[in-house]
Amino acid sequence: MSKKNDTNRTIIQYFEWYVEGSHVLWKKCRAQAPRLAEFGITDVWLPPAYKAGFIEDNVGYAVYDMYDLGEFDQKGLVKTKYGSREEYQQAVSAFKKSGIRVLADVVLNHRMGADSFEDVQALKVNPNDRNQTWSEPYTISAPTRFMFPGRKGKYSGFTWNHTHFTGVDWDNNNPVTGNVYRFADKAWAHDVSREFGNFDYLMGADVDVNNPDVKAELIRWGKWYLDFTGVSGFRMDAVKHISASFIKEWISAMRDYKGEELPVIGEYWHGDVGVLEEYLNQVDGSMKIFDVPLHFNIRQMSYADGNYNMADILNGTLLQRRPENAITFIDNHDSQPGQALESFVNSWMKQVAYALILLHKNGTPCLFYGDLYGIPCTRNIPIPRLRTLVRVRHDYAYGEQHDYIDDYDCIGWTREGDDAHPNSGLALLLSDKRDGKKRMYVGKRFSGTCFRDCMRKVREDVIIDDDGYGLFSVQGFSAAVWVTWQAFENLVINED
């Protein structure tokens, strides 16, 4: 492989919701880091590493103590689902040694699993319109005291009470699910998603990021986390539920502290690209965000039985409208089967979809752990030749792109390659139904060169003519990725 570079970065989300929970993931990370780097992964997004509020829901998003990375006896266990604090730090070190940046999952929106309750004046609000109140203020018993008795003040003496939150979904005096309560002396943040009137509240005890003490503590924690773990950047969860002005301030504080442009990715789950563009404007483009509209386009195509206009696949996406901010993905832990946002892409389409996001000149693609290794509990198998596609991206997907996104059932593009990457350049064809052919330009530099399909489905070679064109083909319902014969031979030698 060629030397690591910053041009074609490729992220992997290194977990899925049901990944084995016997404290082994950090050990697997440490063992697999060199292999991931070898086939072209440059960045890894790890799951929340801190203690969750409930043993039965310990994926990490039900945040209890962000300073407990599997070190203290709290909430019924010492280790987290993924392992111990030492194992986490060893995993981060292993990735960095292999040249891979580590992105830590940051959940700043809420806390769960409180140590005790407090009497608080609150108003019941309409769950479907959080701007509408259903009661006058009255006293509820709210789960808002977080004392962290197992940690005993190590790393931070900050403890949480009701003044640090804006609302909850639980009254211990009236234990009924489905309610939302806003504290009488608090207001929802204004610069959040307008879904449900105001989508500041998501779950648990909703963190009041506009409280000066909370703001200072979250910034202090972020600096501690960077130093203590050695991670390279952050994936920020549920940003549409958190004040955009706070997010911008927090990111700025982290970058000022590090003295560099540390990478930050935000999760704003919405299918309207206009909403995502509005958010990016609110935060001054300070992060990349997931291209949810492209995910939905791909999913729709995957279930359309060939009745989808592939020429429209990029319409209304961040990849089309804000490519510099687009994190492209096929699926993740939220969209996988059994989750609240389930929208899993049909398995037959996965290889086609990954070829699309990995070999396009724009966007930063993110692989899903479940697509690389499979998801045993839902019987989803690994996607064939996914490692090969990542390797092609890393080594050969360079140079000017020429688009042929002009057909209902067959689209593609070419990359001309460049002098900095030996044997670079490619031709891509994607089909959602029928066999197809396109005469495409790859560049006169390739005149007389033999190209071969590294997906190993189309067996005939293509010889580039004197004008730099070749007649490329693809089987129906598949992807064909044509590279020079020298690149092909290297891929075969290093086959996944």
First-to-last C-alpha distance (Å) of the chain: 13
Answer yes or no: are the C-beta atoms of 64 and 146 closer than 8 Å: yes
Number of C-alpha atoms within 13 angstroms, CB side, residue 312? 10
Paired tokens of 390 = 């990542």
Cα–Cα distance for residue pair 197/89, rounded to 1 Å: 41
| Residue bearing tokens 């031979």 | 489
16 flagged as catalytic: no
Write down the catalytic residue from 65, 68, 237, 291.
237
Spatial separation of the C-alpha atoms in residues 480 and 352, rounded to whole Å: 9
Dihedral sign of CA atoms 18, 24, 88, 103 in order: negative
Quote the tokens at residue 268: 């704003």
Helix (H, G, I), strand (E, B) or coil at 131: strand
Place of tokens 């799951």: 47
Kind of pairing, strands 63-65 and 51-52?
A: antiparallel
Runs of H (alpha helix) within 39-119? 85-97
| Of 204, 34, 234, 179, residue with least CA distance to 111 | 204
Angstrom distance (rounded) from CA 32 to CA 3: 19
Q: Which of 191, 267, 407, 496 is catalytic?
A: 267
Contact 431, 444 (CB under 8 A): no
407 part of the active site: no
Q: Are 107 and 221 in contact (CB under 8 A)?
A: no
249-267 burial string, b = 16+ CB within 10 Å, else e?
Answer: bbbebbeeeeeeebbbbbb
CA atoms within 13 A on the CB side of 439: 4
Residue 401: CB atoms within 10 A of its CB come to: 16
Q: Can you tell me the distance from the alpha carbon of 203 to that of 328, in angstroms, rounded to the nearest whole number?
A: 27
Note whether 16 and 81 are within 8 A (CB): no
**Catalytic residue numbers?**
237, 267
